[in-house]
């Protein structure tokens, strides 16, 4: 018996898919169809898929050509499947010509003619057009945004604004048809969403303006440095029916996300202690905003929202006490250590711009601990360790490019699916971070060292 296998997303199943499946079936006696899982598609940037995996599997089955349907969930699975199911022919549409030649080692690769004039992308575009986004604040962080947005479908950077026009021009020059706006108001008038990457203290005003203009907002972390402002902005966004999301890239990092879910499901028992550190030693060039007290410079405002993230995600917002120890220079903290006491746990974080420390994350539990080596805030790897070392496990993930693509994907997904809050970083968690920043500003339980 000649066995054939083919793969695809098969979203909004159309005539092109049906022809492909028929031709694939004609190549042999038994056809296996691999349908991509939702998370696998999201992971490779295909986040605007309309039908969920069950609907897509049902649609493939309904064509009558598939003898068996399987789910494709990871890179490299094709080789495993070919061997596991004893496949003779791997078939795929001609749009992939040459891309799967490496599989010839395992099965005969056949590229089948693609049906002209139809695709899922076309069908999706007929109903929803790309989200047009404008970048406000075209400095260092924002410069990474266009190339990352480029790999996310359903989004197009169309405008840029910066009080320094040359920065906006530089950012826009690399993007096709991106308008350099003379004012933020001009930018608001031509987009559906904004990405705000201006200095911290200007976030509040820009968010408020954009939300009032009916725009979705992705804003760099820390969103604001005041809990009441954070609450007010989230309420306003919900009232206006727009998405407001804090762009904390660690929250969207695939490895970090999986770690959080695993720990919540009890793999290291009850969490008793968390230690999170991040340091970035910069030569203290006083002209930089990061070293300017008047512009909310300093280690904690700069890095604190990353180190607070695992603490707040795992232990929640209701700590009993927080003490903060900082080493100050010219009014900014070059190093800060915070200790949070919860009813049954302690958590500490360290951030440094003028002190170097091991940037690791250790989460200790009653049955074992999780260790994420530096740079844990953009990790592709972590370990679970136990008393019995034979039980230790290592986990590897993908971390592509600058990592902003994951938060951009989630932002677009929230817009398309009208989700106001994302489990990756809940609104209340963003509010809690802003409250902690505020208590630092107010020097509550603060000790200078
Ligand atoms: N296919 C085809 N003819 C088309 C569209 C798709 O032969 N007009 C084939 C693809 O080459 C692939 C399979 O159908 O072998 C599944 O493709 P998939 O990526 O799910 O479909 P597309 O319509 O190409 O989806 P998208 O637009 O999202 O890329």
β partners of residue 422 = 425
Query: Which of 4, 6, 8 has most ligand 1 atoms within 8 Å of its beta carbon, as the pocket-test mutant?
Result: 8
**Burial (Cβ within 10 Å: 0-12, 13-18, ≥19) of residue 394:** exposed
Residue 297 binned pLDDT confidence (cut-offs 50, 70, 90): very high
Residue linked to tokens 């010219």 = 330
| Pairing, β 369-372 against β 381-385 | antiparallel
Reply yes or no on whether the pLDDT at 284 is more than 70.
no
Residue 179 binned pLDDT confidence (cut-offs 50, 70, 90): very high
User: What is residue 129's predicted lDDT score, i.e. its pLDDT?
Assistant: 73
User: What is residue 127's predicted lDDT score, i.e. its pLDDT?
Assistant: 64
Six-digit token string for 356: 């170097």
What's the predicted TM-score (pTM) here? 0.78
Please tell me if the CB atom of residue 330 comes closer than 6 angstroms to any atom of ligand 1.
Answer: no
Q: In angstroms, rounded to a whole number, what is the distance separating the alpha carbons of residues 195 and 139?
A: 12
Mean pLDDT computed over 78-83: 97
Residue 285 binned pLDDT confidence (cut-offs 50, 70, 90): low
User: What is residue 269's predicted lDDT score, i.e. its pLDDT?
Assistant: 97
Please tell me if the CB atom of residue 430 comes closer than 6 angstroms to any atom of ligand 1.
Answer: no
Residue linked to tokens 């070059």 = 334
Nearest residue (by CA) to ligand 1, atom 13, is 8
Q: In angstroms, rounded to a whole number, what is the distance separating the alpha carbons of residues 73 and 43?
A: 10
User: What is residue 286's predicted lDDT score, i.e. its pLDDT?
Assistant: 64
Six-digit token string for 154: 């359903």
Percent above pLDDT 90 for the chain? 79
Residue 307 binned pLDDT confidence (cut-offs 50, 70, 90): very high
Nearest residue (by CA) to ligand 1, atom 14, is 17
Per residue, the 3-state secondary structure of the chain, as one string, reads: CCEEEEEECCCCCCHHHHHHHHHHHHCCCEEEEEEECHHHHHHCCCCCCCCCHHHHHHHHHHCCCCCEEEEECCCCHHHHHHHHCCCCEEEEEHHHCCCCHHHHHCCEEEEECCCCCCCHHHHHHHHCCCEEEEEECCCCCHHHHHHHHHCCCCEEEEEEECCCHHHHHHHHHCCCCCEECCCHHHHHCCCCEEEECCCHHHHHHHHHHHHHCCCEEEEECCCCCCHHHHHHHHHHHHHHCCCEEEECHHHHCHHHHHHHHHHHCCCCCCEEEEEEEEECCCCCCCCCHHHCHHHCCCHHHHHHHHHHHHHHHHHCCCCCEEEEEEEEECCEEEEEEEEEEECCEEEEEEEECCCCCCCCEEEEECCCEEEECCCHHHCCEEEEECCCHHHCEEEECCCCCCCHHHHHHHHHHHHHHCCCCECCECHHHHHHHHHHHHHHHCCCCEEEC
User: What is residue 409's predicted lDDT score, i.e. its pLDDT?
Assistant: 85
Averaged pLDDT of the chain: 93
Please tell me if the CB atom of residue 428 comes closer than 6 angstroms to any atom of ligand 1.
Answer: no
User: What is residue 416's predicted lDDT score, i.e. its pLDDT?
Assistant: 80
Contacts of 2 (CB under 8 A, 6+ apart): 27, 28, 29, 30, 88, 89
Nearest residue (by CA) to ligand 1, atom 23, is 119
Please tell me if the CB atom of residue 17 comes closer than 6 angstroms to any atom of ligand 1.
Answer: yes
Reply yes or no on whether the pLDDT at 32 is more than 80.
yes
Ligand 1 nearest-atom number relative to CA 46? 28
Ligand 1 nearest-atom number relative to CA 94? 11
Ligand 1 nearest-atom number relative to CA 116? 8
Nearest residue (by CA) to ligand 1, atom 24, is 119
pLDDT top residue among 152 and 285: 152
Mean pLDDT lowest among 65-79, 138-152, 244-258, 276-290: 276-290
User: What is residue 64's predicted lDDT score, i.e. its pLDDT?
Assistant: 97
Query: Which of 78, 95, 99 has most ligand 1 atoms within 8 Å of its beta carbon, as the pocket-test mutant?
Result: 95
Q: Provide the CA 283 distance to its chain's centre, in angstroms.
A: 30
Among 119, 148, 133, residue whose Cα is nearest residue 50: 119
Count other C-beta atoms under 10 Å from residue 206's C-beta: 20
């Amino acid at each position: 018996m000649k066995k054939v296998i083919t793969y695809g997303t098969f979203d909004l199943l159309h005539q092109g898919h049906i022809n492909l499946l028929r031709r694939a079936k004609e190549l042999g006696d038994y056809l296996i169809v691999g349908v991509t899982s939702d998370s696998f598609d999201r992971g490779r940037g295909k986040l605007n898929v309309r039908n969920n995996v069950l609907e897509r599997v049902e649609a493939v089955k309904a064509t009558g050509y598939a003898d068996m349907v399987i789910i494709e969930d990871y890179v490299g699975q094709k080789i495993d499947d070919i061997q596991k199911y004893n496949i003779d022919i791997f078939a795929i549409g001609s749009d992939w010509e040459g891309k799967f030649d490496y599989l010839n080692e395992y099965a005969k690769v056949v590229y089948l003619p693609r049906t002209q004039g139809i695709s899922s992308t076309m069908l999706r575009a007929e109903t929803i057009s790309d989200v047009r986004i404008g970048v406000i604040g075209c400095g260092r962080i924002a410069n990474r945004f266009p190339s990352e947005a480029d790999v996310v479908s359903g989004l197009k950077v169309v405008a840029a604004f910066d009080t320094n026009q040359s920065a906006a021009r530089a950012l826009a020059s690399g993007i096709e048809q991106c308008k350099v706006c003379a004012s933020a108001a001009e930018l608001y008038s031509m987009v559906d969403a904004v990405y705000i990457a201006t200095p911290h203290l200007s976030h509040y005003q820009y968010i408020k303006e954009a939300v009032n203009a009916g725009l979705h907002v992705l804003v760099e972390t820390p969103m604001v440095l005041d809990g009441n402002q954070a609450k007010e902005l989230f309420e306003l966004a919900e009232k206006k029916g727009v998405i407001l999301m804090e762009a904390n890239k660690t929250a969207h990092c695939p490895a970090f996300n999986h770690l959080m879910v695993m720990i919540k499901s009890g793999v290291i028992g009850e969490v008793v202690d968390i230690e999170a550190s991040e340091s970035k030693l910069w030569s203290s060039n006083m002209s930089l905003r990061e070293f300017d007290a008047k512009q909310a410079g300093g280690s904690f405002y700069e890095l604190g929202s990353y180190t607070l993230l695992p603490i707040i995600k795992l232990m929640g917002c209701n700590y009993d006490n927080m003490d903060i120890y900082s080493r100050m220079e010219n009014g900014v903290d070059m190093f800060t250590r915070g200790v949070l006491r919860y009813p049954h746990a302690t958590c500490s974080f360290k951030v440094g711009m003028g002190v170097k420390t091991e940037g690791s994350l250790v989460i200790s539990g009653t049955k074992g601990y999780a260790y994420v080596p530096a740079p844990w805030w953009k990790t592709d790897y972590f370990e679970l360790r136990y008393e019995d070392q034979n039980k230790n496990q290592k986990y590897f993930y993908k971390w592509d490019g600058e990592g902003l693509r994951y938060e951009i994907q989630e932002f677009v997904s929230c817009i398309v699916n009208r989700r106001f809050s994302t489990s990756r970083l809940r609104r209340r968690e963003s509010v809690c971070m802003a409250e902690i920043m505020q208590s630092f500003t107010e020097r509550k339980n603060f000790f200078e060292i």
